[in-house]
Amino acid sequence: MTQLKKRVLVYGYGNPGREDDGLGIEMIKMVQEWIDKHKLGCMTTESNYQLNIEDAEKISEWDIAVFVDASKDEDLNEFIFRKVEPSDAKVEFTMHAVSPSYVLHLSEKLFKKSPETYILGIKGYKWDFKEGLSANAKLNLEQAFQYLTRKLAGWALIKKNLPISMLS
**Count of residues that interact with another protein, criterion CB under 8 A:** 43
Do the Cβ atoms of 27 and 124 come closer than 8 Å? Answer: no
- Taking Cα atoms as reference points, which of 44, 45, 52, 41 lies closest to residue 24? 45
- Taking Cα atoms as reference points, which of 127, 113, 117 lies closest to residue 71? 127
Using CB under 8 A as the binding rule, the residues of this chain from 70 to 89 that contact another protein are: 70-73, 88
Using CB under 8 A as the binding rule, the residues of this chain from 8 to 37 that contact another protein are: 13-18, 20-21, 25
Judged by CB, which is closer to another protein: 127, or 147?
127
Judged by CB, which is closer to another protein: 43, or 98?
98
Using rule CB under 8 A, residue 119 touches another protein: yes
Question: Following CA atoms 46, 22, 14, 87 in sequence, which dihedral angle do they give, to the nearest 10 degrees?
Answer: 90
Using rule CB under 8 A, residue 144 touches another protein: no
Using rule CB under 8 A, residue 150 touches another protein: no
Over 75-114, what HEC string results? CCCCEEEEECCCCCCCCCCCCCCCCHHHHHHHHHHHHCCC
Which of 3, 30, 116, 127 forms a contact with another protein (CB under 8 A)?
Answer: 127
Using CB under 8 A as the binding rule, the residues of this chain from 54 to 73 that contact another protein are: 54, 56-58, 69-73
- Taking Cα atoms as reference points, which of 63, 69, 61 lies closest to residue 98? 69
Using rule CB under 8 A, residue 53 touches another protein: yes
User: What is the C-alpha to C-alpha distance for residues 85 and 102, in angstroms, rounded to an integer?
Assistant: 9
- Note the residues at the interface with another protein (CB under 8 A): 13-18, 20-21, 25, 47-50, 52-54, 56-58, 69-73, 88, 90-97, 105-106, 109-110, 119, 121, 124, 127, 129, 131
